[in-house]
Copies of this chain bind each other. A is one copy, B any other.
Amino acid sequence: MITVNEHYSKLQASYLFVTIARKIKDFQEQHPDVDLIKLGIGDVTKPLPSACIDAFKKGVEEMADEKSFRGYGPEQGYSFLREAIARNDFRDLGIEAEDIFISDGAKCDTGNFQELFSTNSRVAIPDPVYPVYVDTNVMAGRSGVWKDGRYEGLHYLEANSENAFIPAPLNEKVDLIYLCFPNNPTGQVASHDQLARWVEYARENKALILFDAAYETFIRDDSLPRSIYEIPGAREVAVEFRSFSKTAGFTGTRCAFTVVPRECRAYTSDGEAVNLQPMWNRRHSTKFNGVSYPVQRAAEAVYSPEGKKQVRELSDYYLGNAAIIRKNMEALGFTCIGGENSPYIWVDGRRDSWDFFDLLLSAGVVVTPGSGFGRCGEGYIRISAFNDREKVLAAMERIKSSLA
């Protein structure tokens, strides 16, 4: 008899976006004349940079000619892209092309990486959090059942106003630590010192940090670390995930990468060190077959002189939106986090997350209730800067009128 992986039955249905969709539908039925402004979802709205479009098209044209046609590529990605990433994103950080594995998304990579570890690893996960880290560990059997809004057996790193939404290392011992800066959903960014404390914890406790830097492109404060490898000693204890999704509008085009430094290690149960790079290479080449060749060419163009300029303009545009949102919400008396080096603004609503959501919906603006990201998100909302400037301005006017 074929029996299922019963850990799946522990998974809670994700009611967050389902509930939002239902509330929007109800509202639209009652107010068919209102054109809702959506600042809820973390998806980009601006088209691909023209440098990427040109390279993408050229890649497609190569597939039309027998002489330039490409079949199976290297599972790890083409050298032209791995080298461009190493040279541009990790110069002087000790990361080389062979440490970089190209994939079709940071969601896949952050979801898949836990496969390399034993199922009894103790997992530390932020709260509030991007749900993929949690769900993939539940599927793998690293949690107990759902109880009082949390999975038993997981170690939650509570982020709240007391620690400025940057959790410090725990007193208890954990093995696998998920961190995300600039953070989704709070928009907060850890300093060098704060990351250094985590690296120190990982080194002392033989733990591993999975560092999600998918929003790195929005960092404008040069004193903030863009990569965990800016922290000395991190290469032995940290894997970093990056993506072209937010950097260059690739959410529908699909390209990302994971950095597994050759020094990075875990251990056998006997305590013998094991390099993770060959293990990830084996996993990646056994269960993945490379990213579409024209897509890799489009991603490479992000690093061309025009690409760099266009990508900077894109993130400047969304950061301009974020500044408008934060300024307006603060002027209305709300305490905000994020929005300065991040496309997300995390607003203390001083009331139940869903009540605030309902209030803003009645004003014609959709946001995301913070409680959907975890228990510590209760009382907050996340406002996304991914929309057109005029819609952001109109949304702020609506919120102002509604709260006046």
**Which A residues have a C-beta under 8 Å from some C-beta of B?**
1-6, 8-9, 11, 41, 43-48, 50, 53, 56-57, 60-61, 63-66, 69-73, 104-105, 107-108, 111-112, 115-121, 132, 135-136, 139, 175-176, 205-208, 249, 251-254, 266-269, 271, 274, 276, 279, 282-283, 286-295
Contact = CB atoms under 8 A, between A and B. Distances in A.
A75 to B, nearest CB: 9
A105 to B, nearest CB: 4
15 contacts: A1-B206, A2-B266, A3-B120, A4-B116, A4-B276, A5-B119, A6-B118, A8-B283, A9-B268, A48-B69, A57-B57, A105-B288, A105-B289, A253-B294, A254-B292
A53 B64 contact: yes
A295 to B, nearest CB: 5
A167 to B, nearest CB: 19
Q: In the assembly, how many copies of this chain are there?
A: 2
Given A111-B286, A116-B8, A132-B286, A71 B47 contact: no
Contacts of A6: 118, 268-269
Given A267-B2, A268-B4, A56 B282 contact: no
Contacts of A117: 2-5
Most B-side CB within 10 Å, residue of A4, A48, A120: A4
Which residue, of A47, A117, A286, has the highest number of chain B Cβ atoms within 10 A? A286
Contacts of A65: 47
Contacts of A120: 3
Contact of A50 (B47, B64, B111): B64
Contact of A293 (B121, B252, B271): B252
B45 A3 contact: no
B56 A71 contact: no
A70 B252 contact: yes
B45 A66 contact: yes
A101 to B, nearest CB: 14
A107 B50 CA distance: 33
B254 A291 contact: yes
A238 to B, nearest CB: 11
A108 B4 contact: no
Contacts of A175: 1-3
Contacts of A43: 71-72
Given A4-B117, A293-B253, A47 B60 contact: no
User: Which of A48, A65, A120: most chain B CB closer than 10 A?
Assistant: A48
A200 B157 CA distance: 51
A-B pairs, top 8 by smallest CB distance, nearest first, are A111-B287, A43-B71, A70-B252, A1-B206, A71-B251, A2-B175, A2-B208, A105-B289
B282 A73 contact: no
